[in-house]
Amino acid sequence: MDNLSFEEIKSKFSSNKKFKIASFALGGLILLALLYFLYRQFIWMPSNEKSNDSWWAGQNFIAKDSTNQAIKALEPVVKKYDGKSGGEISQFLLARQYMEKKQFQKAIKNLEGVDVNDTYIRIYSIGLQGDCYSELKKYDTAIEKYLEAADEEDNEFTTPMYLLKAGLCAEKTKDYEAATTYYTRILDDYPAYGSQKTIEKYIARTSTIKKK
């Protein structure tokens, strides 16, 4: 192929159907790659940068405990910048405001849609879904979310915090064996947090109760 002249390539293109199809396919891929690069460079990236300033108005209302005004400010931002970094942060903030108004289904829907690179926002988006399901008394689903949040990124703060919440929900369902397992994991793997929360008391409570 490297030694073919332009005329030979032209002749091969005209006479060889497979060569022609392969050439069109390669050209199409190159064109798509170029269009994607241009879109990212000149449309998506400027819009993404602009979105990063879009959620501050909503955050200011949140700081003033003005939940209704925060929701009013954040809803159009979420719609306009969905998929952009500022839009995703706005969606997270909006979900928290829905939780303040006890609109847990709306909060869950928004939290499910949050897609960010920030580790802690990603963890909290999952864990807050657990809080919503717990408020709705859907404890089994809440436990699933808490365990997912606990294992999303192992660390000394959010992991034991969500294990504790999973344990409390397990107690609500009378699954004391599971609750003991979650509490014991905190004691064994996160002793500082366990000491702070006097986790031995939780273990003592659940380990002595037989599952009904």
Res 4: pLDDT: 52
pLDDT at 8: 61
Residue 33 maps to a domain:
no
Give the chain's residues under pLDDT 50.
1-2, 35-39, 41-45, 51, 212
Q: What are phi and psi of 105, to 5 degrees?
A: -65, -40
CATH number at residue 106: 1.25.40
- DSSP code of 54? S
Per the domain annotation, does 126 fall within a domain? no
- Alpha helices by DSSP H, listed for the chain, are 6-15, 17-39, 45-51, 56-63, 67-80, 85-100, 104-113, 119-135, 139-152, 158-172, 176-189, 191-196, 199-207
180 part of a folded domain: yes
Determine, yes or no, domain membership for 191: yes
Q: Is residue 123 part of a domain?
A: no
Do residue 159 and residue 210 come from a single domain? yes
Tally of domains in the chain: 2
What sign does the CA torsion over 61, 67, 69, 73 have?
positive
For residues 148 and 208, membership in a common domain is answered with yes
Q: Are 101 and 144 in a shared domain?
A: no
Instruction: Take residue 68 and report the two structure tokens written for it.
Output: 């209704």
Same-domain pairing of 106 and 168: no
DSSP string across 176-190: HHHHHHHHHHHHHH-
Structural domain contains residue 28? no
3-state secondary structure of 84: coil
Asked whether residue 171 is assigned to any structural domain, the reply reads: yes
Closest CA to 122 of 99, 91, 82: 91
* Global pTM exceeds 0.85: no
Q: How distant, in Å, are the alpha carbons of 97, 119, 127, 145 from that of 162?
A: 21, 15, 7, 9
62 in a structural domain: yes
Domain that holds residue 162: 140-212
Q: What are the pLDDT digits (tens) for 72-108?
A: 999 999 998 888 888 899 999 999 999 999 999 999 9
